[in-house]
Amino acid sequence: MDLTLSNKRSSECAENGAGLPNCKKARNAYFEDKPPLEVLKRKAEEFGHDLLSVEFARMMDGEDPLGHLREDFFVPTMKDIPSVDSALVKPDEDCVYMCGNSLGLQPRATSHYMQKELDKWGKYGVHGHFLGDMPWAFCDEVVQGDVARLVGAEKDEVAVMNGLTVNLHLLMVSFYRPTPKRHKILIESRAFPADHYAMESQIRNHGYDPTTSLLQLKPRQDEHMFRLEDVLSVIEKEGNEIAVILIGALQYFSGQLFDIEAITKVGHTKGCVVAFDLAHAIGNVELRLHDWNVDFAVWCTYKYLNSGAGALGGAFLHSKHKNNNYPKLLGWWGNQMSTRFQMSNELDLSPGIAGYRISNPSIMASVPIKASMEVFKKTSMADLRGKSILLTGYLEYLLNYEFSKDSPHRSHEVYLDIATPRDHRQRGAQLSLMFSVPMSEIHAQMMKRGIVCDERQPNVIRVAPAPLYNSFEDVWRFIKLLRESIGAVSGKSRKEGDPDPGLD
């Protein structure tokens, strides 16, 4: 099998009836399908400005066909960030928000849509269930098609419901049916704790022991990333005993993007159910779940989908499973709408993922998704991915120029390593940074200067420029403020005679 990345746009996606509008939109010619540094260097020559200069960043922003989308979001100012030292910043300046991998910024339309539903409740009471452009009884279905497009699915393969881990448990009830010969679950080591705990509990609830039934993929010694050939080798070797493969499609700790298509193909050849956690992938990278034949997937909507903490999550179930007779946990909302209110207590189960819905959706947890989808509909995932590759490639270049261990331009003893794949096809927006000093010291100084990003134990600071609202000047400012932060930690200034990287 070809072990190169196979996460490519399907040439048949516009013809297969899967209803995937993003497949039909070619990437804007501005976003070239070339290595980002090659594009950036050519742009620098065209502009007549060094890659290290703020003028270069501003000219990139001036040409950015998606730059106007930033206006659709609230960007916190320096003075509103609790950790900021006011003596170190310009209070009314935008903060450097690089935390969309944890919580996306608020779309400006969110409060409008929220107030609209509150007004409807006040004016119409119970009649709001069936009135307006977002009737409460169907509010999840209003955004269902838009969300389905982001994961490359048919509309009826997606449900907007619950939270990620609840959806994971609901689907595992159907798809994890262990036998003495096939009882293992395969996850990646350092999987997000929610996934790890959920898989342990599923194993225990079936009378098995996680120490023998939970199989964990691990990188090679002294490596941060998983090699695809190693992943596929484990599946080939252990597959006859694996019931379910559950992998974070884009690994939250390292930022590595797994080859979903290749893993699914090999897993299916061994008789495994193949599922993915898309928390860090949806809205970040292009997805083709239907075409890739993924069995099921789950996600949240508050990271790159910018729907706010606690907004409804989502789930995908491939149409090949829509009439399955597997065990399920059932609820009223899984009953078909046409007979739901007959109150016969004779279940008329909706086919597919709709049959896994338990309760009526929260309107206030659905409205922010609508606001977010209105922004996504102004562009395509192809273009967002194109911009993201350039933004993160620019960030990577400046980080390596200024802070890598072997850089002759490094001005302090502190250095960093990027624990994310160098190949842009194997990552999303996020870069995971490991420092030569305790990360908490660096992170504290970053926060004082208005950089908003997060740290993950034991040793990673995650930085994610989101293409919907981050700019190239945001990246330039991040580097400038990071250098100041490292300087504050190391207490050392640029060595005499060292070249100025031009980042001041």
pLDDT tens for each residue of 423-448: 999 999 999 999 999 999 999 999 99
Q: Can you tell me the distance from the alpha carbon of 273 to that of 428, in angstroms, rounded to the nearest whole number?
A: 25
pLDDT category, 498, cuts 50, 70, 90?
very low
pLDDT of amino acid 392: 98
Instruction: Give the mean model confidence (pLDDT) for residues 169-194.
Output: 97
Give residue-wise pLDDT tens across range 376-388. 999 999 999 999 9
Residue in this structure with the two tokens 């009882």, named with its chain if needed: 183
Entry pTM: 0.92
Residue range 187-192: average pLDDT?
94
Query: How many C-beta atoms surround the C-beta of residue 324 within 10 A?
Result: 14
Please report the pLDDT score of residue 25 as a whole number. 56
> What φ, ψ does residue 356 adopt, rounded to 5°?
-95, -5
Strand partners, 418: 433
d(CA 102, CA 326) in angstroms, rounded, equals 34
**Is the separation of the CB atoms in 255 and 462 below 8 Å?**
yes
Q: Name residues whose C-beta falls within 8 Å of residue 106's C-beta, 6 or more positions apart in sequence.
A: 73, 74, 306, 308
Determine contact, residues 157/316, Cβ cutoff 8 Å: yes
Q: Mind listing the pLDDT tens digit for each residue in 59-102?
A: 999 999 999 999 999 999 999 999 999 999 999 999 999 999 99
State mean pLDDT over 157-170: 98
Cis peptide bond prior to 458, omega within 30° of 0 = yes
The mean predicted confidence, pLDDT, of the chain is 92
Q: Which of 40-44, 361-365, 437-441, 495-499 has the lowest mean pLDDT?
A: 495-499
Distance CA 265, CA 149 (A): 22
What is the pLDDT, as a whole number, of residue 100?
A: 97
pLDDT at 288 over 50: yes
Please tell me the least confidently modeled range out of 155-169, 257-271, 478-492: 478-492
d(CA 265, CA 274): 9
Q: pLDDT tens digits for 210-239?
A: 999 999 999 999 999 999 999 999 999 999
The residue to which tokens 């608020």 are assigned: 106
The residue with greater pLDDT, 89 or 17, is 89
Instruction: Tell me what the mean pLDDT of segment 440-464 comes to.
Output: 94
Low-confidence winner among 357-371, 421-435, 482-496 (lowest mean pLDDT): 482-496
Task: For residues 190 and 210, give the distance between their C-alpha atoms in angstroms, rounded to a whole number.
Answer: 15
Number of Cβ within 10 Å of residue 215's Cβ equals 18
* Three-class secondary structure of residue 482 per DSSP: helix
Nearest to 305 by CA among 434, 147, 132, 187: 147
Residue with tokens 């993003």: 22
What is the per-residue pLDDT for 23?
43
* DSSP type of residue 297: E
Tokens of 270: 């061994």
Confidence of residue 29 (pLDDT cuts 50, 70, 90): confident
Band of pLDDT at residue 198, cut at 50, 70 and 90: very high
Q: In 270-360, which residue ranges form alpha helices assigned H by DSSP?
A: 289-292, 337-340
State which H helix or E strand residue 472 sits in.
helix 472-490
Close Cβ partners of 492 (under 8 Å, ≥ 6 residues apart): 411, 412, 413
Structure tokens at 301: 């909507």
